[in-house]
């Protein structure tokens, strides 16, 4: 086959942003006193756009690249060229397959063609008749890194970043040869790290030096003259003066390889189990291919890879992941739905934090580090104030100790955070946030005091997780200045910020809140003032169902493990212990007050709180998890146990109902914002698409609401499929 056989297929993508394969002939530099080793054809992959538009590999791009490579193969046969190189426009080798194009593949057959097209093109690259070189100047993801792997030799820039095979994260496999070549090049253990562990660890990527260290590249050069040095190195390789050493490479046929290979695959499977409970299929498929390909040829592996890709491209999981990753996290998070014109935002040059407890101290640290403006904390006595400021200073010292910040930055941040027992320090603050006890009257009193001190323009914010922002604003002279600013724990890590608009919050205040979120490197999502907003309402609805099933007599392990097929980051009871039983119960009570029986308050849970029990599960002396008899004896259970399937279905239906109601109430602009909140605020997996694509996929939306949340094709296969 040749690239030309795919022209008809490529024609299905008239809107693709084509990454062109531009070829220049370069006379290779000669060693002293020797003739030049010949002419080198250098391909630059370039879509003609600036660095904000990454180069990608769509069908038309691949056909063009394939034709160019076939032309070079002919020139090599005629003896016109001595080598071929591939590099990219600044900052990118290639960012990977064009996911928008792949997501649009309507039929399994189309996915198969796409997979075969990539293999056809890369096979040409690997069999030009002359050596091929990838000069990895920048990001190389997925199919982008596979272009490099399919080349005979690779050089790496120390300035390159975002090097990865993220397919397992996206719901695919590195099926353009990566899964076959990588374990041979860098060893099966390292290959599992790159293809499994990194993708499933928040889609971690490698830097140039790290990738070089693993053996992905043969030579490492600095960015200032990367291409010149790469070319000089290529000339040395072509003329035989340099023979790259590959210390991590393995021969699959060597006697000890089989055991190493099997052990690496087994370790990978354990990792996948721990990270996803096998709820996502793609990581397992990667390991299946890796396991199978030790003893087969590259061509045989290519066929398996194509079949697997074709299958996975048609799964809803893959499409939900692309929706979550591209449409939500990459795009929607940068343009928050409903946020007012950013030009309305006011500058924030000093921040006040009312309270000096743990949450308040975390907020002070975040504001000081990210905004680099003075932050002043207040509390009712000097001891609390000192403790809060001391916490911030200690955290800064920890960052310094880990060399995450410089001594100067540490000095600056510490100097920015001060404390006082008098709220008079807020007179020149532009933004004051409270993080005091979760009690409406306490908060209203704080705001009343603040209004007497702060300037008329000063924005007041609450970090409440369950109280009504509207009620808090009621007695204010300037209710338009109050906004909800709900962070998630731990504040430094969780990327979500629910920005709560009360009925009278004005646009300038809201615009400032969104600009502030951006400056704090958080994703702000606009939510209406409704009990527990988005993330906590959904989490507590879920925990309420599981707790209710447990209270009804379902065994703890059955109830707590029923949601495993969803692949959530932790089980409901583990989450409950992490949040803290009293906090969870407090929010549940306020939700029960607002919405009634949909949020049942568990009497068993109250008994545990009353007796100071901090978690249901405890670690037994033999290392297993168990509920101690002392805990069990505090509780009473019903006599109608459920199966795990029942609990799962019941929870799915409850979530579909709750989200349907939230959308009817206008809590957020659409199901996309619900999904964005659950991904960024609760760490729910991309392959669920957040949550609504999952509920559509399992039929819960249809069962409860009579319709899906999202139109077919948005985060799933198109209806025609």
Partner 1 sequence: MSHHGSGASQRTVRDIVFVDGVRTPFGRAGEKGIYAGTRADDLIVKCIRELLRRNPSLPPERVDEVAIAATTQTGDQGLTLGRTAALLAGLPRTVPGFAIDRMCAGAMTAVTSTAGGIGFGAYDVVIAGGVEHMGNHPMGSGADPNPRFMSERLVDPAALNMGNTAENLHDRFPAITKQRADTYAVASQAKLAAAYGKGLIQPDLVPVAARKPGEGWTVHSVDEPPRPGTTMADLDALRTPFRPHGRVTAGNSAGLNDGATAAVLASAEAAAELGLPVKMRLVSYAYAGVEPEVMGIGPVPATEKALDNAGLTIGDIGLFEINEAFAVQVLSFLDHFGIPDDDPRVNRYGGAIAVGHPLASSGVRLMTQLARQFEEDPSVRFGITAMCVGLGMGGTVIWENPHHPDYSGTTSAASATEGATA
Interface residue list for partner 1 (CB under 8 A)? 20, 22-24, 26-27, 29, 32, 42-44, 46, 48, 87, 89-90, 222, 224-228, 231-232
Q: Are 35 and 72 in contact (CB under 8 A)?
A: no
Q: Which two tokens stand for residue 404?
A: 């995450």
Phi, psi at 132, each rounded to 5°: -110, 150
Which 3-state string (H, E, C) describes 154-207?
A: EEEECCCCCEECCHHHHCCCCCCCHHHHHHHHHCHHHHHHHHHHCCCCCCCCEC
Computed from CA positions of residues 578, 583, 585, 590, in that sequence, does the dihedral angle turn out positive or negative? negative
Least distance in Å: CB of 33 to partner 1?
A: 8
In the structure encoding, which two tokens stand for residue 208, read together?
């140039």
Report yes or no: 534 and 674 within 8 Å, Cβ to Cβ.
Answer: yes
User: Which residue, 47 or 523, is less far from partner 1 as judged by CB?
Assistant: 47
Q: Smallest distance from the beta carbon of 231 to partner 1, in angstroms?
A: 5
Question: Considering the complex, what minimum distance in angstroms separates the CB of residue 79 from partner 1?
Answer: 21
CB of 8 to partner 1, least distance (A): 27
Residue from 253, 254, 186, 250 nearest 218 by CA? 186
Nearest to 385 by CA among 417, 410, 427: 417
Q: Which two tokens stand for residue 386?
A: 């000192």
Q: Please, which residue, 24 or 614, has the CB nearer to partner 1?
A: 24
Exposure string for 316-329, b = 16+ CB within 10 A, e = fewer: bbbbbbbbbbebbb
Q: Within its chain, how far is the Cα of 288 from the centroid?
A: 24
Distance of closest approach, residue 118 Cβ to partner 1, in angstroms:
21
Closest CA to 616 of 583, 586, 574: 574
The DSSP letter of residue 345 is: P
Nearest residue (CB) to partner 1, 89 versus 275 = 89
Q: Are 526 and 511 in contact (CB under 8 A)?
A: no
Measured from the CB atom, is 57 or 310 closer to partner 1?
57
Minimum distance of partner 1 from residue 230's CB (angstroms): 9
Residue 222 or 665: the one with the smaller Cβ distance to partner 1 is 222
* Encoded tokens for 214: 């693993």
Contacts of 254 (CB under 8 A, 6+ apart): none
Query: Which residue lies nearer to partner 1 by CB, 237 or 663?
Result: 237
Identify which of residues 222 and 457 has a Cβ nearer to partner 1 in the complex: 222
Give 228 or 702: the residue with its C-beta nearer to partner 1: 228
Beta strand segments in 508-561, E = 523-528
Cα separation, 566 vs 542, whole angstroms: 12
Report yes or no: 498 and 681 within 8 Å, Cβ to Cβ.
yes
d(CA 543, CA 581): 12
**CB of residue 65 vs partner 1: minimum separation in angstroms?**
13
Query: Between 23 and 326, whose beta carbon lies closer to partner 1?
Result: 23
Of 100 and 158, CB closest to partner 1: 158
Contact, 139 vs 93, CB < 8 A?
yes
Distance CA 271, CA 278 (A): 10
For tokens 């449409």, name the residue: 327
Q: What is the DSSP letter of 130?
A: S
Q: Where does residue 562 rank: exposed (0-12), middle (13-18), buried (19+ CB within 10 A)?
A: buried
Least separation in angstroms between CB 49 and partner 1: 10
Q: What are the phi and psi torsion angles at 485 (to 5°)?
A: -135, 85
Cβ nearer to partner 1, comparing 22 with 620 = 22
Cβ-based nearer residue to partner 1, 403 or 624: 403
C-beta of 137: minimal distance to partner 1 in Å?
A: 9
């Amino acid at each position: 086959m040749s690239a030309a056989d795919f022209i008809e297929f490529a024609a299905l993508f008239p809107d693709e942003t084509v990454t062109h394969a531009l070829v220049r002939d370069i006379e290779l530099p000669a060693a002293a006193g020797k003739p030049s080793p010949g002419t080198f054809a250098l391909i630059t992959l370039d879509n003609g756009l600036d660095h904000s538009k990454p180069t990608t590999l769509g069908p038309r791009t691949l056909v063009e690249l394939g034709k160019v490579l076939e032309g070079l193969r002919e020139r090599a046969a005629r003896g016109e060229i001595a080598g071929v190189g591939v590099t990219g426009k600044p900052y990118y080798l290639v960012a990977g397959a064009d996911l928008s194009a792949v997501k649009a593949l309507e039929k399994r057959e189309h996915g198969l063609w796409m997979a075969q097209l990539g293999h056809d093109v890369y096979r040409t690259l690997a069999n030009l008749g002359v050596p091929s070189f990838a000069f990895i100047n920048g990001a190389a993801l997925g199919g982008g890194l596979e272009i490099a792997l399919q080349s005979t030799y690779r050089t790496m820039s120390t300035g390159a970043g975002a090097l990865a095979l993220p397919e397992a994260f996206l719901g695919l496999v590195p099926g353009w040869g990566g899964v076959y070549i990588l374990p041979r090049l860098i060893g099966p253990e390292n290959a599992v790290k790159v293809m499994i562990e990194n993708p499933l660890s928040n889609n971690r990527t490698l830097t140039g030096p790290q990738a070089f260290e693993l053996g992905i590249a043969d030579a490492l050069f600095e960015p200032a003259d990367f291409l010149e040095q790469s070319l000089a190195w290529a000339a040395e390789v072509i003329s035989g003066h340099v023979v790259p050493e590959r210390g991590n490479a393995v021969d699959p046929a060597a006697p000890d390889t089989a055991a190493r290979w099997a052990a690496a695959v087994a370790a990978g499977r354990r990792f996948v189990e721990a990270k996803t409970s096998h709820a996502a299929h793609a990581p397992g498929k990667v390991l299946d291919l890796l396991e199978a390909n030790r003893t087969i040829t590259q061509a045989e592996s290519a066929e398996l890879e194509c079949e697997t890709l074709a299958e996975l491209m048609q799964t809803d999981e893959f499409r939900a992941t692309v929706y979550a990753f591209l449409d939500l996290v990459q795009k929607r998070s940068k343009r928050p739905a409903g946020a007012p014109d950013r030009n309305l935002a006011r500058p924030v040059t000093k921040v006040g934090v009312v309270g000096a407890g743990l949450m308040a101290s975390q907020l002070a640290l975040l504001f000081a580090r990210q905004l680099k403006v003075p932050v002043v904390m207040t509390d009712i006595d000097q001891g609390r104030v000192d403790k809060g400021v001391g916490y911030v200073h200690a955290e800064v010292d920890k960052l310094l100790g880990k060399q995450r910040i410089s001594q100067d930055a540490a000095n600056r941040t510490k100097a920015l955070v001060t404390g006082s027992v008098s709220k008079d320090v807020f007179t020149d603050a532009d933004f004051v946030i409270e993080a005091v006890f979760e009690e409406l009257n306490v908060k209203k009193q704080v705001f009343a005091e603040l209004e007497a001190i702060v300037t008329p323009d000063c924005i007041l914010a609450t970090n409440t997780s369950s109280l009504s922002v509207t009620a808090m604003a009621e007695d204010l002279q300037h209710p338009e200045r109050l906004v909800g600013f709900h962070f998630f724990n731990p504040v430094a890590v969780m990327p979500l910020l629910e920005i709560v608009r009360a009925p009278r919050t004005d646009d300038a205040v809201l615009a400032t809140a969104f600009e502030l979120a951006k400056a704090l490197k958080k994703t702000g999502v606009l939510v209406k003032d409704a009990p527990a907003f988005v993330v906590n309402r959904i989490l507590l609805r879920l925990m309420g169902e599981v707790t209710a099933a447990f209270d009804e007599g379902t065994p703890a392990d059955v109830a707590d493990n029923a949601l495993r097929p969803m692949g959530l980051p932790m089980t409901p009871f583990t989450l409950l212990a992490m949040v803290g039983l009293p906090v969870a119960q407090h929010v549940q009570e306020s939700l029960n007050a607002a919405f009634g029986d949909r949020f049942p308050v568990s009497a068993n849970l109250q008994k545990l709180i009353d007796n100071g029990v901090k978690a249901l599960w405890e670690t037994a002396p033999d290392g297993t998890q168990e509920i101690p008899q002392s805990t069990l004896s505090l509780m009473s259970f019903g006599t109608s146990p459920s199966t795990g399937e029942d609990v799962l279905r019941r929870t799915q239906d409850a979530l579909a109902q709750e989200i349907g109601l939230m959308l009817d109430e206008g809590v957020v602009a659409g199901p996309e914002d619900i999904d964005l909140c659950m991904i960024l605020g609760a760490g729910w997996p991309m392959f669920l698409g957040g949550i609504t694509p999952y509920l559509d996929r399992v039929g819960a939306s249809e069962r409860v609401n009579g319709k899906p949340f999202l139109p077919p094709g948005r985060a799933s296969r198109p209806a025609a499929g």
